[in-house]
Every structure is written in C-alpha cells, then in structure tokens.
Amino acid sequence: MRWLKITLHEHDVLVVGSGLAGLRVAIQLAKDFDVAILTKVHPLRSHSVAAQGGINASLGTGDSWEQHAFDTVKGSDYLADQDVVEILAKEAPRAIIENERWGTAFSRTEDGKIAQRPFGGAMFPRTCYAADRTGHNLLHTTFEQALRVGVKFYNEWFVTSLVRDGDHVCGLTAFDISTGDVHSFAGKAVVIATGGFGRVYSHSTNAVINTGDGCALAFRIGAPLKDMEFIQFHPTTLFGSSILMSEGARGEGGYLVNALGERFMDKYAPEKMELAPRDIVARAIKTEINEGRGIDDQYIHLDLRHLGKDKILERLPGIREISIYFAGVDPIDEPIPIRPGQHYSMGGIHCDKNGMTPIEGLYAVGEAACMSVHGANRLGGNSLLETLVFGRIVGQRIAEYLPNAQRPSSTCVEDEAFKIRHKLQEWLLKDKGENPSEIREVMGETMDRLVGVFRKESDLKAALTMIRELKERFKNVFAGHSDKRFNYSLIRILELENMLDLAESIAMGALMRRESRGAHWRLDYPERDDENFLKHSLFTKVEDYVKTEIIPVNLGMFDVKERTY
C-alpha cells in the first residue's frame, strides 16, 4: 500500500549499534555533526557490558607498545595486518587514560596506579581491569559521555537494510520495535558497529542479540566479508550454560585440571601453561575431553581454590556469583566445570585501518569489522581496546569525509523502505510455513558439530550442504502471529536470515583454507602453510552467488616465524 507514508529521518551520520565501538565513534563526531545511533536494545544492554577480564595497554615499566604489538602479531599466527596492530598498541595507553578520566573505576594497586594482570599470550601483565566487570564499567562511562555530548539515540529499533546508490551508501531502513512501523533514514555516512555473530553457534558466550546483523546487511549491498573462517572458541565457558568464565581467572593463577587431577597444560604449552593463547588452550581442553580425560567425558575443571577466599572475593566476584547461580558450585570451595565455547569472531566486514569499506560512506568498527587487527586469533584484552582505539580513529576519518560528502536524496531510502515493509507484511500475513526456531536450532547444532574447534573436509562439506538446505527452507518461514507491535518473532526471523548468510561464509572459508592457523584447525591439514595461505579470504555477494578471493596480509616490523609457547 504505497499511499501509506514512510517517515523519513535525516542525520549526517547513522551509527548502527550502541556498544563501545559505536558510542566512541558517535562521541568523536557529535560536537560538529548530527549523529544518530540506532540500536535494537538499550545501549547499556549492548554486549560490551559482558566483557569481564580487562583491556590491554603498555603502561608499566619494562613493557612497551612494540612488545604489545609483537604479542598481538604472534598471537594472530601472523595473519594480522601489522600496520593496524601498530596503531592499536601505540594508542592503547591513550584510550585507558581517556576512560579513566571520564570516570571508569579501574582496580588499583596499593600505590594507587591502575592495576594490570597477566593474560594469555602476553609477555607482560598489561591487562588493566575493573575486578571482573571491566566491560560493564567501560560501557557505563562511555554511554554517559555520549549523553553529555548530545548523541541522538533510537533505542529498540531494528535495522532491516542498508541502501546503496551507485558506489556510495545513502542510508538505511529500520522499524520501531514498539510500533512495528518501517522508517527510512538518510545519511551521508553509515557506521556498522553491531558486534559479533556468535549466535550462529548453539554453544556461545555471546548474548542472544549477537546475530551479526550489521555484517549481513553490509554483505547484501556488496561489501566484502573477510576471514570469516576464524572463529575463536574461548577455553573456559561454564558447562551447561556456556557463560563466559573470564581469562582473568587464569590470569590470577587459576589451574586447568582434568579427570585425573592433572594440570595438563604442561603437555601443550609448557612455558605459558594456562596462559597460552586461547586457541591453544581451547584445543588442549578439547583434546583432553576427546581422549577420555574429561570429567564425565564432557568437561574439565577450572580450579581457583588455592587462590584463597579473599583474592577471589576481591578480583573475581562476578565469576563466583555466576558459578554459584548457574552451576551450583562456590569456587572458594569447589572447582568450576568448564569447556570451550564459541566466543569471538576475528572475521567481519572488510575495511582498512580507518574503518573504510569499499563502498563510499560505509564504515565498520569493532567486532563487526575486520581491519584485520586480530588475524587468526585474538588475544584476550584486545577486543575492548579495539573498540575504543578505532572508534576514535573511525570518527576522525568520517569527520574528514563529511564536509565534501553529498547529502543523499530522500527517494533513495524511501523506495527501499516500501520494499521492506512489503516483505515484513508478507511474513506477518502467512498462516503456515517453516518454523524459524527449528531452522535456527539445526543451524546452531550443525555449526557446533561440524565447524567447531577441530575441522575436516568431510564435516565442512556436510555443514555447507546443510546450511544451504536451511536457506531454502527459510524461504517458506512464517512469523506465527500478525501483531506488528513488539513482535519479537519477526525480529528472530530477520536475525535468522542474517545468521544463515554468515554461517555459509564461515563454512566456505573453513573449507577453502587448507591449513591450520590460529583458531582454524584442520585435522586433515594440521600444518600452517605460509606459502599458500598467509593471505586474507574475502567473500562478496554477487547477485545469487558468493564470490571468493584472497588478498595479501600487510606484513611489517615482525618477520613471520613459528608460534611456540
């Protein structure tokens, strides 16, 4: 019904996502430009709030940005672009000091300095922290600053499409969850800051909102996705619920113990033990379970008892609460049952070190982006840092772009809004079809089982076949009821559509990469192959198929060498 008017909103910059990355971009721009953030949840429910262990920076005597950069490159299994890593490491102290001055309550040493703890893969204890609720503290502080500078928020709006006019982006469409009405948004620049896509897997530390919406939306208008096969499995997630058990627990001295009572990490990383990079520790735990040394063949123990009650209460209060409420164990007296689970996506929207994608006016930042600062494996403590460092840098780059950018026409986004409204109405009016929850359950189970910690060709081919079958089934999906107000069934369908596209790219990338590197481990290709695969993988949607290609890694100050711990 074309005669029903579509409401148009116009802003200089449209930021999709209200976690730390999106907030930091908006803060950088709000003084001089009209900036709006669209978010499907209230900003303080963004997934940045769940980050526990800390944020890296070379603050102490004996540490340096060069050593931070080397640890990051080595941890990435040399797939990180080293020019981007250099920026991250150099700018880290500035980000910490800025947030401390904004009011972030970091934990302190006895002499009043910001406290730092050891984290996996680091040669120095450079992880600043706020007990085990670091993301919570940083997000609240950063949100306060966004309110102070007058950022416009569209809370609980779901973005349904990006709109491209020729070689540049001109805006987006979204619907107000409270009313179900579709609106159009015109802007000179669009920033994707929607975080990761962990919910493609069934067992994930990610919040239910982490469905990769921004990555999928950018993919559909021709922005390439990069390095999608690199999925980080956190070594320590709570058995039964997959809630994150912070790396800070091992940084404070926690042990990993198998069913025989052995601290088994001496077999896999004798120098670093529990503080080896996450990919190595996750594979070690999975190996112990697969070879029959797991408790009930399902999990192993994270033992904190030797740390003592006082240290646990001071440094790991959140971990203790989660263990008590969700596993029925008090880590002061009992070990915590854990196993690896999906945690982070190193891949994302292909962009440069300023967040620029190949589509003019479209930018990406945070976990949704792939610059690539993490390469094949992210070190703990670098994700919070990435959001703040590159949030500011992307904001600066957009500020340079905007004065000469053409304001898009309203008709560009209005036509797309009518198409989206028709698409949603068709779903709402159907009275039968495929159940989206069943498709989502099969997708998650398939990814867990066939595209997990250990991979092989037959499993990956089976996963790709299943995902494509699910995409066909999705064409006949239905919402279940027709009330468009607060219709979360409709939102789950839109999220599923996004996740299926991303799951296909993950499986394609894992099948293409015939080597083992970082978090991607092929049982049939157990060696790293720098000659053929020291390269990034790209996935671009071209009409009805996905084009794949490879591009070089930006090497720099650090030579490629074997990664041993």
Q: Could you give the CA distance from residue 289 to residue 150 in angstroms, rounded to a whole number?
A: 52
Identify any residues that bridge with 558 across adjacent strands, giving them in sequence order: none
Q: Check if 378 is active-site.
A: no
Cα-based angle 226, 345, 546 (whole degrees, multiple of 5): 35
Question: How many CB atoms neighbour CB 403 within 10 A?
Answer: 9
In the numeric block, which tokens belong to residue 456? 């092989």
In the numeric block, which tokens belong to residue 419? 């198409």
Strands (E), 73-181: 116-117, 127-128, 152-155, 157-165, 168-176
Residue type, 301: H
Q: Residue 535: enclosing H or E segment and its boundaries?
A: strand 535-542
Q: Could you give the CA distance from residue 175 to residue 322 in angstroms, rounded to a whole number?
A: 35
Contact 498, 216 (CB under 8 A): yes
At which residue do the structure tokens 């262990």 appear?
A: 53
Measured in residues, the chain has a length of: 565
Which candidate, 102, 31, 370, places its Cα nearest to that of 230? 370
Which candidate, 368, 369, 371, places its Cα nearest to that of 352? 371
Q: Could you give the CA distance from residue 26 to residue 17 in angstroms, rounded to a whole number?
A: 11
DSSP designation for 402: G
Cα-based angle 316, 321, 323 (whole degrees, multiple of 5): 95
CA dihedral 240, 75, 367, 386 (to 10 degrees): 120
Side-by-side strand order, sheet with 336-345: 231-238, 336-345, 300-303, 255-257
Torsion 323-325-327-332 (CA) sign: positive
First to last CA, the chain: 63
Among 45, 199, 250, 278, the active-site one is: 278
β-strands 362-364, 348-350: how paired? unpaired
Contact 89, 66 (CB under 8 A): yes
Contact 484, 179 (CB under 8 A): yes
Residue type, 203: H
For 329, residues 6+ apart whose C-beta sits below 8 A from its C-beta are: 323, 335, 336, 337
Identify any residues that bridge with 547 across adjacent strands, giving them in sequence order: 540
Distances (CA, A) of 17 to 10, 36, 48, 191, 482: 17, 10, 11, 8, 27
Which candidate, 428, 368, 420, 466, places its Cα nearest to that of 172? 420
Catalytic positions are 278
